[in-house]
Structure formats: C-alpha cells, structure tokens
Chains A and B, each alone.
Chain A
Amino acid sequence: MTQDFRLDTVGLINRDKKLSFIFNGNNYFGYEGDTLASALLANGVHLIGRSFKYHRPRGFFGAGVDEPYAVVQLYRNNETEPNVKATEQELFEGLEAKSVNCWPSVNFDIGAINNFLKVFLPAGFYYKTFMWPKSFWYKVYEPFIRKAAGLGVASTKHDKERYEHKYEYCDLLIAGSGPAGLASAYAAAKNGARVILAEDKPRYGGTLLTSEVNIGNQTGKEWSENIITELKEMPNVTVRNRSQVFGYYDHNMLVMLEKISDHLPKTKKYHPKQRLWYIRAKEVLISSGSIERPLVFGNNDTPGVMLSSAAKEYLKVYGVLVGKKPLIFTNNDSGYETAIEFKKNGVEPIILDTRKEPNSETIEEAKNLGIQIKLSYVVVAAKGYKKVDSAEIAKISDNKNNLGALENINCDCICVSGFWTPTIHLASQSGNKTKFDKNIDAFVPGVSKQNETTLGAANGKFTLEETLKDSFDAGYELSKKITKNENKILCPKVVEKKKTTHDKFWCVPLPKGKTYKRFLDFQNDVAVSDVEIAVKEGYRSIEHVKRYTTLGMATDQGKTSNLNGLQLVSNIENKIVPEVGHTTFRPPYTPVTIGAIVGREVGKHSRPTRKSPIHYWHEKNNAVFVDAGVWLRPRYYKRGNETLFEGSKREAKNVRTNVGVCDVTTLGKIDIKGPDAAELLNRVYTNAWLKLPVGKARYGVMLREDGIVMDDGTTTRISENHYHMTTTTAQAANVLSHLEYYLQVVWPELNVNVVSTTEQWAGVAIAGPKSRDLLKKLFPKIDVSNEGLPFMGYLEGELFGVHARIFRISFSGELAYEVNVESDNGSFMWEKIMELGKNFEIQPYGTEALSTLRIEMGHVAGSELDGRTIPYDNSLEGMISKKKDFIGKRSLNRKAFVAKDRQKVVGVIPLDKKTSIPEGSHLVKDKNAQLPNPKLGYISASCWSVEFDNPFSLAILKDGKNMIGQKLFAMSPLKNKTIAVEIVSSHYVDPKGERVRS
C-alpha cells in the first residue's frame, strides 16, 4: 500500500510503524508520529466536515492549535469525545473519528441548503430569526437547530478516565519550546534556576522543526534536539510536552493542561488521562510564537485553502504534500519558504504575491530555483465545491482598489500567508496592556503587569537572530535575579535567510457583479459582508460586533480571524486598529475538558466523607445512611422490608415508650478555656452565663450582628475556667470561626482559647422513660437519680473503665442523657449500651426519628433556624437577657423585628388528620384566591406524630401568636396538593416540658 500524498523520506514520522484508523467509516492507515489531520491528508482526504451555519464543506486550514475547521467526534476505548481538533489529535492504532455538523452525511448534507439560503442568514440571524412566533420555538426551531447545527455530541456515559491535579512551584515557567523557549530555558537552567518548560505539541522545537536555519554550526532541528536532551538531564528542569499553558491568573499563578494519554489507544493502568497543573512561578517567559494570518478572498473557505505555514509543516514534519499543483498566495516572504519546500520535493508551485517589487534573500532563492512568481497578483476566488480545483486570479492595481481581467488557473490547493499575528493571549490574560505595532499590523505585549516577559515571535520579533539573543539574555537576567548566580551562556551564531517587509493588503475586493462569500471566521461562518452589516446597523464597539456576528466566538476563539475582523471594522470606520482595540483575551487559550477541571473531585471524592467512630456498627445493623453536611448519619435502622416511614415511626415510638439510643457524635463540640470564658459566652449567647455553676449545662442561642439566629446548643461548665460548647452539626465550623473572630479581632483583651473537639469525643443520646434505669446499669457507682443528676446537670464517671462525660440534656423532649467518651472508645460504649439496654427494650434510632421527636415537641432546629429568623420567630424570646448586651442585640429593635404581626413558629395539623403536609408548602387563607396567592407562612418541618398518630408540622406564620385555632390551607404547587389545616401550638407533645425533668 502506498499513500498518494506521502513523500518517501522527508519528515519526522516513524515509517516503520503503520497505524490503521477509521474516518467516517472508511479504513485508512498512517504512521506513528502522524496527527489525524496529516494521516488524512496523506490519503488525499480533504473533506472533514461541514461549517456551523451554512454547512459548507470544510477541510484543513492549519496544522495545530489554531485550526478552525477540522473538529471531529473522536472514539477511543469505548468512549467518545466531541470537538477534537484533528490537527492536534495524534494518531494511534485503531483510532476512529467522525465528522461533525453533517446530517445525514458529510458528502450529502441537508443543512447545506442553508448555503443556498445564505442571503437570509446574515449577521445577527440568531437574534433576528427563530424569535417569532413564540410557539414555533419548541416544536420547529429548536429541534431543527439541534439536529442541523451544533458541533460534536457529548457522551452520556460516566467518564471512567482519571484526571489529576498537581500543584507546582518554580523560578521560571516557560510556555513554548520554540527557539525563544529553548534559549531562555537553557540560559536560566544553566544559571541554576528551577525551570518548567512546557510545549503543547508532542515534538519540541517549534518553528525550528520546519525552518532552514543554522544555529552554531547545527541545523535548527539538531540544535533544538541537543538542547532538549541536555535540559531533560538537569535536575532543576522539568520538561513537558503535550502540555498547554492555557491560563494566566493572579499573582503569577498559571494553569497548564498535560495530555498524558490522549495519544494512546487506551490509558495505561494507574495513569491519568490528563493532568492539570497549577503552577506558581516567580517569573514567566511567554514564548508562544505566532500564528499566520489568512488572506481574505472569495470562497476562501473551500477545502484545499490553507495557511502556507501549515502546508510547510505537513511537508517537513509529516512528509505530506497537501497538493501537487499548489498555488501560493502571499503578501510577505513566508509564502516563498513554503514554495521552496514544494519545489525541493519535486512539486511545481506558483506564487502570487500582492507586492509589486519585493526583494530579499528568500525571494532570490525562490527565483534561483526557477519557481514561477506572479507579482501584484491576487486570488479573487477559489473554485471547486468539496475541494479546490482551480482559482480565479487577477492582477491588482498599485492602490489595490482595481482588479485586472479575471484569469483561471489550475491548482489543487491554495496556500495563503497574510503575515503573522503574535500569540499574546497569555500576556494579555496577565493584565498586560497590549499595544499595536504598525510594522507588523498586530498587537504585541506592552508594559508587564505581573512578572512576565514575552519573547520571540510572540513579542513581534520575527528574526531568529533577534529572538535567540533576547531569549538568552532574558533567561540569564531573570535567573540571576532569583539565584544570584552569574553563569552566562553565550548566544550561538545564527545563519538565516533575510526577508523583506510585508504588504499591508489582505482583503481582495470583489470583482464587479460577483457575490463571493469572503470568510473571516471559518468556524462560525462569519464573512466580510456580515461585519459590514453589523457596522451598518450601528454596532461600533468591537465587543458588540463580535457578539452580534459571533466573529471569533467559536471553539478556536478566533485565533486566525480576530485580527482580520479588527482590520475590517477599522477600515469601514476609517479608524486605525488600535482605536478599535481588540476584544478581551480570557482563559482558557484552548478548550479544556471538564474532566481535567474537576480532577479527582468526582463522585464520593467530591468532598470528604466523615464517619463517626460507631459507623461500622450502624453499617452492620442495617442502617440506611443520609448525608448530614459531610457526615454520614444513620437515617433509620431497617428491619425487614420496612420503609423509612415505618422504621422511623417504630424508632420514635420506642423512645417515647421505652428507651432509644442515637449517635450524636456529629454535633459540633468546642472546648473553651480561660479566665474570661464565662465573659465570652455572656457576649456570644443571648442569655446570662456569668452565674452558671460548675457541673451545670445551659441552653444558649447565638445571633449574628444583624439579629438573625446563628446557632443554638448547650454549653456545660466542666470546671472553673473550662466550658464544653456544643453546636449543631451544620454550623460547627462557622461557630468556631465566629468565636475566633471575636476573640482575635474584636475583643483580643479576653483571655480565652477555643478549639474544636468534635472529633475527639464520641457522643450518644440515651432517651426515653427507661433511660435512667439504663444509666444506672451503665454507671452503677454513680448517683444518677433525679437529685444526683438533675435536668441540665453534668457528671463525670467511669463506664466499665472508660472515662465518660454524662450530660442530662434532651433534644427529644423525653427524659434523656448524652454520654461522651473519647472517640476510640465510642464503639465500646455503644455496644455496652446495646447490651445492657436489652432488658429495657432499647432500639437505636436515626435522624428521621430524631426529627419526629423534636418536631412534635416544638423544638426548633435547622429548618427553622434557617438564617432568616430572629429569636421571637422561634419562640425563643424568653432566652433574651434584658440586662446585658450581646452580639446582635442592638438589631432586635429594628422596626420589622418588633412588628405587631411578626411571624412566629406554630404547629399545623391537617383537618383530616391523615394527609401529610409537604415541607415548603405555603399557608394561605383562600385556596381559590387569584395568583399570586398572598402567602401567610410556610411549612418548615413535617413529621408523623407518634404520640397522637397523625401528621404534625411546624410552620413559620405571619402573626403566628394570634393565629392559634385558625383554619388555613397548606398549598404545595410542586406536589400539587391543597390541604385544609388548623393552626395549633408548636408544643404539641408535653407542652409544659415535664418529661425532661421527671
């Protein structure tokens, strides 16, 4: 088998290793070292897809990251990935790819009818069309657009690949391994700096791989290979290929995407697919090179029209001829270099140069080789539908306004060069205010904002001699600043052919009577006429023109189109480009997969999972778990086929009749020590704390400064200057920060220390009428009678040889205790409780029963203390000290907070005593009122009262205080329910609170 367009010896591919691949269902082969693009071109395949809007045939335009056309749907290892650039995707054995934007196929495309309707699809057509009639959107427009437009298709499967994040620090980060990157990296590394050198392509060397130059008596390619080899061996240097530095963020933080496995048929075991590097660099050297600009002429999007630099790269790197009758259309010397390479490989190119009398060493060489050169000539239009088959050319007048007679010329590709645009994205992202350089008709970096230096072509320096000199100097000077070393490497001697100035002309006028489309943005199908319409319709700001026409907004982010777009707007408005300004460059420079951004933080790795020391007992005993913040808590312990409703009801009922035990380890615990500890509590809580005796607990409510309840819990005085505070599970971290803030910033004079002890203690609640009897068995040597351990009392004791803290506090409203032991003993304590509790018919209970118990008791919790309620709303006004000041007190006399009809927590019962009321339901007076129905309140928590065996809910209700006994409706449009309800006291069970004191 041979490939029609592959040269026999030229290129850097490995001809010993053939790779087979499938494109659009056809089998092809390429070689190791190919990209999908070079392998297709070697097989003579130029038609790769359809354009986004008009569905015009699309080929290859570039050879790398700048490619606007050649995006494909990639299939690899039973997975699929959309919008992969064929010019970047390395070939591997068994690769499969398909065109995008084609329906039903790339050769017969229904959407291409848009091409014939293009007169109806001008700039802003998305804004103008598809708007009316409104009813058409869902049924007609959207399905059509979805099918006919859009790029690739995302996989719906879970991505099994592994993506990693890495944090790195270095002295110098160098983005790009062309001549500038290699020289600066070498100079800096030799001077002792820690260097990271990143190259987005698989091969290092950048333009040195394709240009005919000499550096220190070696070819450019040899020199680059030797430098890389030496750099790789240095311990202070990290060299990475397939790695794109795509974002420059604050304080010299850069982010780089390393593609580790994308070039392989399958990711190796234990390897990630991609790795995202967060690099904090002391200095950044941007050596990202430049991208060739297109010339604009009729049908310049036809497959076979491509950048001359890309044609040269396909030839020199991959040994591929993009055509055998190439037409080179150029306004500068770069086109000649491509022509010379064709000629050297036995192909006869024809050069059309827009310039009248250019002269340089490069042009001289082309002439000497006998290449046909037509000066003051332009391509007016490419001919051919799915592939260029000829071109319409003409002589152009000196003022570039008038075309001579049209001539037809045979060709199978048109290689264009409209000069070079420095890749300034990273510099611009860093905050550098870029400036317009009239000599090269492009923007270059201005004054550095962060510690960044731009070198070589990215800095608008297009000769190798200048680039190497600047780069050796920069590498040395910047490394010297950091390492203080003075080991300077001399810049080697450079031999390169001289070039002359380019022509500013880039957009070929339309001949009379012709309506050729002249494209600026090839991926989004934005033509010269679209920009003209936008300006005509009044769009002036380049940011507006961009959004209206979608110029530069495709996945290539306008790498080849932005500057021509700017030039056009400035030409129309008779301004110069710097006045128009350029659009903002934002990261990422190239598309980054969501997988890489997310990294390892997926599934259960997306956040830590906290488990209590008793977790494994719960697991063994059929606990059904629920997420409580980052904690896993038993929701209920399933018996047989029990539902959540049945199980939690059984558990709650058992607490009310016998005794239950609940793992409350997740409650926040804060140890507070110091002579001013009581004073701190007195300022933080709304009630009085100065007189709490040792061995007593007290319930406290804390507010934010704006009067909203922040958290509640009990705090126990362990000894004279030592307190143990508990917080809710959810607010534990915030309360600690809150205390630290007041101690460190507001009242540093208070002599108190706070530290979280949540993980140091395992805690259980033992609740129910038989809890005291159980406690007696657990602590036979201690007096736990009502006198020995009264309500809100505290004791320490030994639980079978294990130190324990015993608190008589209750969340369930029953006679109850909480016992804490050191975490390591948590499991032991739990098993002892279960063992000794057998005689009292003990059952463990989960969060669902816990909620039921507190709701029917009218105890407020997170669903009422939701960051919107004040103490009064929660019937906690009795907790507010009138005598002392505390955090948030001054806010409580705000007008709304003291309003006569202020909201308040109430109980709610359905009139039928059967229908459970969905949480979040609105309480309204009239169920048939016109929408929006005035809302009087909302259901905050619902349960099935085990005491009364009917549904019971808590609600926050306007004027709740005076609403007891009223009949209202609870409406839940989400659940489509309207329930007649009665408002009752929130204290549904044991309203006098006798049980906890019994």
Chain B
Amino acid sequence: MLHIKCPHCGMRSQNEFSYGGDATVKRPELNKEISDQEWDNFVYNRKSLRGKHLELWQHLSGCRQWIKVERDTATHEIFKTLKANEDI
C-alpha cells in the first residue's frame, strides 16, 4: 500500500485516495473548434509510461482535494506531491 503525502493533510495511506489518471492531460477549452484527433487524444489516448508519471489522485476519505502526485509507475517511488493548482 502506497504512502502518499497529501499537500493538505500530510502522510496518508493509499486506501484514503482514489486514482484520477494522467495529470498532464489538459481538457480542451469549451466552445473551441478542435479536430477529432485532438478530442480522441483527450478522451481516450493515454501513454502507458514506465517511469516518472505525473498523475491525479483525490484524497477521497480525507480533505476531498484533488492532488498531483509524481510517481514512478515501475517502482512506486513518489518524488513529489502538489496541490491541484501547482505545477511541477
């Protein structure tokens, strides 16, 4: 079980969090004309990275904040955690 440092609450066990996927994916702006390919990339296409990955987690059973976690997908090492509005 991972040990994740919530930037709001401190070190907590993984079972308080839920996973939210790739944090680097940006939602296209509303009302903006975009190609099918761009939309598909946003909705469906994800890289299955081995190594450092910036991802979203929600501290579901804690402060309910969405946070960013920089994690190694192979070793589970966590390098950094950030608030949702912070950039690495």
Interface residues of A (CB under 8 A from B): 167, 249-253, 278, 280, 431, 449, 683, 705-706, 737, 740-741, 744-746, 748, 884-886, 890-891
The residues of B that contact A249 with a CB separation of less than 8 Å are: 1
The residues of A that contact B78 with a CB separation of less than 8 Å are: 251
The residues of A that contact B27 with a CB separation of less than 8 Å are: 705, 746
Looking across the interface, which residue of chain A has its beta carbon closest to that of B31? A885
Q: Which 4 pairs of residues, A with B, have the shortest CB-CB distance? A: A251-B3, A885-B30, A744-B66, A885-B31
Is the pair B43, A741 in contact by a Cβ cutoff of 8 Å?
A: no
B40 to nearest A CB, angstroms? 9
The residues of B that contact A741 with a CB separation of less than 8 Å are: 20, 58, 66
Looking across the interface, which residue of chain A has its beta carbon closest to that of B3? A251
In the complex, whether B75 has a CB less than 8 A from a CB of chain A is yes
In the complex, whether B85 has a CB less than 8 A from a CB of chain A is yes
A996 to nearest B CB, angstroms? 33
Is the pair A250, B2 in contact by a Cβ cutoff of 8 Å?
A: yes
Is the pair A891, B84 in contact by a Cβ cutoff of 8 Å?
A: no
Looking across the interface, which residue of chain A has its beta carbon closest to that of B18? A737
In the complex, whether B42 has a CB less than 8 A from a CB of chain A is yes
Is the pair B56, A740 in contact by a Cβ cutoff of 8 Å?
A: no
Is the pair A251, B76 in contact by a Cβ cutoff of 8 Å?
A: yes
Is the pair A890, B34 in contact by a Cβ cutoff of 8 Å?
A: yes
Is the pair A253, B39 in contact by a Cβ cutoff of 8 Å?
A: no
Contacts A250-B1, A706-B43, A885-B31 given; indicate if A740 touches B66 (C-beta within 8 A). Answer: yes
Query: In the docked arrangement, what's the CA distance between A740 and B31, Å?
Result: 21
Looking across the interface, which residue of chain B has its beta carbon closest to that of A707? B43
16 contacts between A and B (CB under 8 A): A250-B1, A251-B78, A253-B1, A278-B1, A431-B75, A683-B30, A706-B44, A737-B60, A740-B66, A741-B20, A744-B65, A744-B66, A744-B84, A745-B20, A885-B30, A886-B30
Is the pair A891, B39 in contact by a Cβ cutoff of 8 Å?
A: yes
The residues of A that contact B75 with a CB separation of less than 8 Å are: 431, 449
B84 to nearest A CB, angstroms? 5
Looking across the interface, which residue of chain A has its beta carbon closest to that of B66? A744
Is the pair A740, B58 in contact by a Cβ cutoff of 8 Å?
A: yes
Query: In the docked arrangement, what's the CA distance between A90 and B11, Å?
Result: 40
The residues of B that contact A746 with a CB separation of less than 8 Å are: 27
Chain B, residues 25-38, CB within 8 Å of chain A (1/0): the string is 00110110010000
Query: In the docked arrangement, what's the CA distance between A737 and B34, Å?
Result: 27
In the complex, whether B45 has a CB less than 8 A from a CB of chain A is no
Q: Tell me how many residue pairs across A and B have CB atoms closer than 8 Å.
A: 55
Contacts A280-B3, A885-B31 given; indicate if A250 touches B84 (C-beta within 8 A). Answer: no
Contacts A745-B66, A748-B85 given; indicate if A251 touches B1 (C-beta within 8 A). Answer: yes
A36 to nearest B CB, angstroms? 35
Which one of B1, B44, B75 has the greatest number of beta carbons of chain A within 10 Å? B1
A854 to nearest B CB, angstroms? 31
Is the pair B43, A280 in contact by a Cβ cutoff of 8 Å?
A: no
Given A251-B78, A740-B66, A741-B20, list of 6 further CB < 8 A pairs?
A705-B43, A741-B58, A741-B66, A885-B30, A891-B39, A891-B43
Query: In the docked arrangement, what's the CA distance between A891 and B41, Å?
Result: 12
A166 to nearest B CB, angstroms? 13
Query: In the docked arrangement, what's the CA distance between A167 and B85, Å?
Result: 32
Query: In the docked arrangement, what's the CA distance between A278 and B13, Å?
Result: 11
Q: Which of B20, B31, B42, B76 contacts A705 (CB 8 A)?
A: B42
B1 to nearest A CB, angstroms? 5
Query: In the docked arrangement, what's the CA distance between A466 and B39, Å?
Result: 64
Query: In the docked arrangement, what's the CA distance between A761 and B43, Å?
Result: 36
Query: In the docked arrangement, what's the CA distance between A318 and B37, Å?
Result: 74
Looking across the interface, which residue of chain B has its beta carbon closest to that of A251? B3
B34 to nearest A CB, angstroms? 7
Chain B, residues 1-24, CB within 8 Å of chain A (1/0): the string is 111000000000100001010000
In the complex, whether B80 has a CB less than 8 A from a CB of chain A is no
Interface residues of B (CB under 8 A from A): 1-3, 13, 18, 20, 27-28, 30-31, 34, 39, 42-44, 56, 58, 60, 64-66, 75-76, 78, 84-85
Is the pair A737, B1 in contact by a Cβ cutoff of 8 Å?
A: no
Q: Which of B3, B66, B84 contacts A253 (CB 8 A)?
A: B3
Looking across the interface, which residue of chain A has its beta carbon closest to that of B30? A885
The residues of A that contact B66 with a CB separation of less than 8 Å are: 740-741, 744-745
The residues of B that contact A890 with a CB separation of less than 8 Å are: 28, 34, 39
B3 to nearest A CB, angstroms? 4
Query: In the docked arrangement, what's the CA distance between A559 and B44, Å?
Result: 46
Contacts A890-B34, A891-B39 given; indicate if A280 touches B18 (C-beta within 8 A). Answer: no
A328 to nearest B CB, angstroms? 46
Query: In the docked arrangement, what's the CA distance between A886 and B28, Å?
Result: 11
B50 to nearest A CB, angstroms? 15
B57 to nearest A CB, angstroms? 11
B74 to nearest A CB, angstroms? 10
Query: In the docked arrangement, what's the CA distance between A938 and B3, Å?
Result: 45
The residues of B that contact A250 with a CB separation of less than 8 Å are: 1-3, 76
Query: In the docked arrangement, what's the CA distance between A318 and B47, Å?
Result: 60
The residues of A that contact B20 with a CB separation of less than 8 Å are: 741, 745
The residues of B that contact A744 with a CB separation of less than 8 Å are: 65-66, 84-85
A556 to nearest B CB, angstroms? 27
Query: In the docked arrangement, what's the CA distance between A885 and B44, Å?
Result: 19
Query: In the docked arrangement, what's the CA distance between A706 and B78, Å?
Result: 30
Looking across the interface, which residue of chain B has its beta carbon closest to that of A704? B43
Is the pair B2, A280 in contact by a Cβ cutoff of 8 Å?
A: no
Looking across the interface, which residue of chain B has its beta carbon closest to that of A683? B30
Q: Which of A251, A683, A740, A885 contacts B2 (CB 8 A)?
A: A251
Query: In the docked arrangement, what's the CA distance between A741 and B56, Å?
Result: 10
Contacts A737-B58, A740-B66, A891-B43 given; indicate if A745 touches B2 (C-beta within 8 A). Answer: no
Query: In the docked arrangement, what's the CA distance between A282 and B28, Å?
Result: 43
The residues of A that contact B84 with a CB separation of less than 8 Å are: 744-745, 748
B7 to nearest A CB, angstroms? 12
The residues of A that contact B1 with a CB separation of less than 8 Å are: 249-251, 253, 278
Looking across the interface, which residue of chain B has its beta carbon closest to that of A705? B43
The residues of A that contact B3 with a CB separation of less than 8 Å are: 250-253, 280
Query: In the docked arrangement, what's the CA distance between A280 and B3, Å?
Result: 9
The residues of A that contact B60 with a CB separation of less than 8 Å are: 737
Query: In the docked arrangement, what's the CA distance between A748 and B87, Å?
Result: 14
The residues of B that contact A886 with a CB separation of less than 8 Å are: 30
Looking across the interface, which residue of chain A has its beta carbon closest to that of B20? A741
The residues of B that contact A705 with a CB separation of less than 8 Å are: 27, 42-43
B88 to nearest A CB, angstroms? 15
A638 to nearest B CB, angstroms? 38
Query: In the docked arrangement, what's the CA distance between A683 and B29, Å?
Result: 12
Query: In the docked arrangement, what's the CA distance between A182 and B34, Å?
Result: 67
Q: Which of A251, A706, A745, A885 contacts B56 (CB 8 A)?
A: A745
Query: In the docked arrangement, what's the CA distance between A280 and B15, Å?
Result: 13
Query: In the docked arrangement, what's the CA distance between A884 and B30, Å?
Result: 9
Looking across the interface, which residue of chain A has its beta carbon closest to that of B68? A745
The residues of A that contact B42 with a CB separation of less than 8 Å are: 705
The residues of A that contact B28 with a CB separation of less than 8 Å are: 890
Query: In the docked arrangement, what's the CA distance between A741 and B65, Å?
Result: 8
Query: In the docked arrangement, what's the CA distance between A312 and B32, Å?
Result: 80
Query: In the docked arrangement, what's the CA distance between A744 and B63, Å?
Result: 12
Query: In the docked arrangement, what's the CA distance between A744 and B27, Å?
Result: 13
B79 to nearest A CB, angstroms? 13
Query: In the docked arrangement, what's the CA distance between A811 and B20, Å?
Result: 33
The residues of A that contact B44 with a CB separation of less than 8 Å are: 706
Query: In the docked arrangement, what's the CA distance between A745 and B28, Å?
Result: 13
Looking across the interface, which residue of chain A has its beta carbon closest to that of B33? A890
Query: In the docked arrangement, what's the CA distance between A167 and B60, Å?
Result: 19
The residues of A that contact B34 with a CB separation of less than 8 Å are: 890
B25 to nearest A CB, angstroms? 10
Looking across the interface, which residue of chain A has its beta carbon closest to that of B83? A744
The residues of B that contact A748 with a CB separation of less than 8 Å are: 84-85
The residues of B that contact A449 with a CB separation of less than 8 Å are: 75
Which one of A884, A886, A890 has the greatest number of beta carbons of chain B within 10 Å? A890
A813 to nearest B CB, angstroms? 35
Query: In the docked arrangement, what's the CA distance between A167 and B76, Å?
Result: 21
Looking across the interface, which residue of chain A has its beta carbon closest to that of B26? A746
Query: In the docked arrangement, what's the CA distance between A167 and B13, Å?
Result: 10
